[in-house]
Structure 1
Amino acid sequence: MSIKSLAGAVLAGALLFSGLTTAVEARTLRYAIGHPPSSFVVDVTKQYAEQVETLSDGDLKVRVFPMSLLNFAETSGGVRDGMADIGFVLTSYFPSEYPHSNVAVEASMLVGLLGEKARGREGMIFMGALSEFTFFHCPECNQEFKKQNQVYTGSTGGTSYGLVCNEPVKSEADLNGMRLRVGASNWSRWAESVGASPVTMSANEMFEALSQGVVSCIVLASPEIHNFGLTDVVTDINMDVPGGPMPIAGTNINADTWKSLSPEQREVMLRAASVFSAGVPWIYHQHEDRILAEAEERGVGIHHAEPALIEKTRAFIEDDMQHIAEDYRSRYGVENGDKLIADFRKLLEKWTGLVQDVETEQDLADLYWDEIFSKVDVEKHGL
């Protein structure tokens, strides 16, 4: 073989080896989410996966496992143990593991006190405030995630919760003695304050509970009627009370996975997380009115709370902030609950102003990136 032929063969081999190396370096991360495949949240999760692949130039990919790899109750432990690289973690399911985080999560009904400027933007406000709070104002929150072998990369969630029922609800008298499925302690306390009985169960059990009359209402955001296939069992809806969204640590990453990523790849994950954090509240707000209108067309009763019930709910929210601080101090040793709530309320006011000019999903994602996610130090966070 001539020198020229040998050189060509060496070059061809080098190019082949380079291609194989690139292929080996491309990595697929497993994402576990308890939502069913048809839900709006899974649609946003797929956008998140696309963002990761695009922003990393194909070096990273995300495979989404909706309601298959891990359910809601299993996700926190599954991410901790490496069964999934990324997970949709509902911290409210685990109060003892995430007590500082859940102080702010349980304060979600505060959005009901923000006034008309917040109406129709509650999810956008809350998820921006909670992400900023957790990244930069609550080191204890990040320590809690660290103890669970997870790295926090942002919060997300939908619109405010109301009453999705199989009988009408307008007044406190209607609620008296009712069994309500609740997904967090704040709504459980509200239920008790109006004479109802809270029932705790997984979101995956809601259809059967409502259809069989185990509960009369589910405290839920209206788009979840679609997400969890509840259309055929809902006969009455009242979205005026209790209020407040359900926030989730939507893209928590296994700590070992996070540490194995380069700083550039961690930035990719944060950029994609900012898109995910914006995408869920945005899509919920877009579908909220449509879901209710379609329900009304099917003959579902759309009810409004009597003024007395609204006022009682507002009074409950204020009183409950003190209860949250005291409860988490006595049960979980959170000594600074009052300060955490005070700091968080300031952020809610701040984000009420920040989202006023948001007109598109991209506007919200850019706002989250500029104000929050871009300021996270990938050389230190989670390490």
Structure 2
Amino acid sequence: MASLVMSGTLVFCGLASNVEARTLRYAIGHPPSSSVVDVTKKYADEVEALSDSELSVRIFPMSLLNFAETSGGVRDGMADIGFVLTSYFPSEYPHSNMAVEASMLVGLLGEKAQGREGMIFMGALSEFTFFNCPECSQEFSAQNQVYTGSTGGTSYGLVCNEPVETEADLKGMRLRVGASNWSRWAESVGASPVTMSANEMFEALGQGVVSCIVLASPEIHNFGLTDVVTDINMDVPGGPMPIAGTNINADTWKSLSLEQREVMLRAASVFSAGVPWIYHQQEDRILSEAKQRGVAIHHADQALIDKTQAFIRDDMQHIAEGYRTRYGVENGEEMIANFQGLLEKWTDLVQNVETEQELADLYWEEIFSKVDVEKHGL
């Protein structure tokens, strides 16, 4: 799968072969059967191939650190690399989470974005974080981490134990949400948002603690929710959940040679592309299999869709004001406008992408290859 890549004066072939191999520990909160872990294995294979086995990655799925522990664990060196959900830590990553909370903007991109939302968003977010948000790099540095790209799946809908088609259906419902934007959307339609770890979703939905989970459909498989889901509506609220998927402990990063850092970035571009690609490939299959099991697939009425789109437009101002008030982010409006422009750019860039490798190559050429490994993270 791996291919030799040249960028500037660094060439991946020819890394020192007489150096003892080094193993990097990767912590991810997903279970071993998750398709995200499958992509992580590709990332590990890429690291080993591009470094001529000088580096290897050992994956710890849902064992070394859970989602809530990963940020601190990477910071403290319990893992060298981690799958960091910055939205779990709003005060630590306020500038980074500004763009994360704007994920529902993909719902306003029109037909060109449909079926490509994840690919668009992860490209835009990676470019934004590397090159347009110095405050983001400072936030990761404060947590003793180095950012090496964002990833995530498809747009989020409603995975439920009762039907939802209208705003009236949502009134009084308890919805598990994983980020503040979906929490605000839930409140706007009369539902009650509930925050809990992703690892608690099965029990919450199965026992009726919540009526729905705001989630991407492939996560039904990834988190083993098959037996507790009876109804699905993927029309609302929309927007993917982005993750800093390959954050590296800063001490580990500094100990790598320039060639090794570029290897890690090239592998990260593969990881960043792999998750949205596999989610988009799985989305229709997951919904079809659910329907065959007797799960009811619902669609939102036009009134609920219109209300959701109006909410998205209004919420951008709320995000900027909220981050200014709570976290002192003074340039929120400018950041969101900048990021919205990148979303439109990436909507055009991914139109002709037909394979996972093409998406990885696009990410590499447009974003990751342009990162200065002599300065980034230092």
Regarding TM over 0.5, the answer is yes
Asked whether 1:153 is paired with 2:148, we answer yes
Separation in structure 1 between the aligned mates of residue 317 and residue 35 of structure 2, nearest angstrom: 35
> In the TM superposition, what whole-angstrom CA distance separates every residue of 1:124-155 from its partner, at most 9, and x where no partner exists?
00000000000000000000000000000000
**Is the contact made by 2:177 and 2:193 (CA closer than 8 Å) also made in structure 1?**
yes
Partner in structure 2 of residue 208 of structure 1: 203
Residue number in structure 1 paired with 2:169: 174
Higher helix share: 1
Name the amino acid aligned to 2:305. Answer: I
**1:220 pairs with one of 215, 233, 250:** 215
For 1:157 and 1:105, the matched residues in 2 are separated by 11
Q: 1:277-296 maps to which residues of 2 (within 5 A)?
A: 277-296=272-291
Alignment-mate amino acid for residue 113 of structure 2: A
The aligned runs of 1:10-89 (5 Å cut-off) are 25-89=20-84
What amino acid does structure 1 have at the position aligned with 2:291? E
Partner of 2:262: 267
1:245-276 deviation digits (Å, cap 9, x = unpaired): 00000000000000000000000000000000
User: In 2, distance between residues paired with 1:58 and 1:317?
Assistant: 47
- Cα deviation 1:202-223 (Å, max 9, x = unaligned): 0000000000000000000000
5+ residue gaps, structure 2, are: 1-15
Matches within 5 A, 1:294-333: 294-333=289-328
Equivalence map 1:193-204=2 (5 Å): 193-204=188-199
Q: Report if aligned partners of 2:19, 2:54 keep a CA contact under 8 Å in 1.
A: no
- Which residue of 72, 90, 110 corresponds with 1:115? 110
* 1:256 and 2:256 correspond: no
Name the TM-score, length of structure 2 as normaliser.
0.95
1:344 aligns with 2:376: no
The amino acid across from 2:356 in the alignment is: E
The secondary structure found in structure 2 opposite 1:249 is strand
Q: Which AA in structure 1 matches 2:58?
A: R
Provide Cα deviations, 1:169-225, integer angstroms capped at 9, x if missing partner: 000000000000000000000000000000000000000000000000000000000
Counterpart CA distance in 1 for 2:270 and 2:17 is 27
Q: Is the 8 A contact 2:37 2:61 kept in 1?
A: yes
CA distance in 1, matches of 2:236, 2:185: 10
CA drift of 1:22 comes to: 5.8
The Cα shift of 1:319 comes to 0.4
Give the whole-Å Cα distance in 2 for the aligned partners of 1:22 and 1:263.
Answer: 16
In the alignment, structure 1 residue 140 sits paired with structure 2 residue 143:
no
Select the structure of larger CA radius of gyration.
1
Q: How many residues end up aligned between the 2 structures?
A: 363
| Structure 1 outlier segments of 4+, above 6 Å | none
SS at match of 2:32: coil
Secondary structure of residue in 2 paired with 1:68? coil
When normalised by structure 1's length, the TM-score is 0.94
Q: Does 1:241 align with 2:230?
A: no
| 2:148 and 2:246 in contact (8 A); partners too | yes
Q: Which residue of 1 aligns with 2:375?
A: 380
Unaligned runs of 5+ in 1: 1-20
Identity over the aligned pairs, expressed in percent?
Answer: 88
Q: Give the corresponding residue for 1:184.
A: 179
1:23 Cα offset (Å)? 6.9
Contact 2:17 2:52 in 1 (8 A): no
Could you report, residue by residue, the CA deviation over 1:338-370 in whole angstroms, capped at 9, with x for unpaired residues?
Answer: 000000000000000000000000000000000
Q: Deviations over 1:67-88 (max 9, x none)?
A: 0000000000000000000000
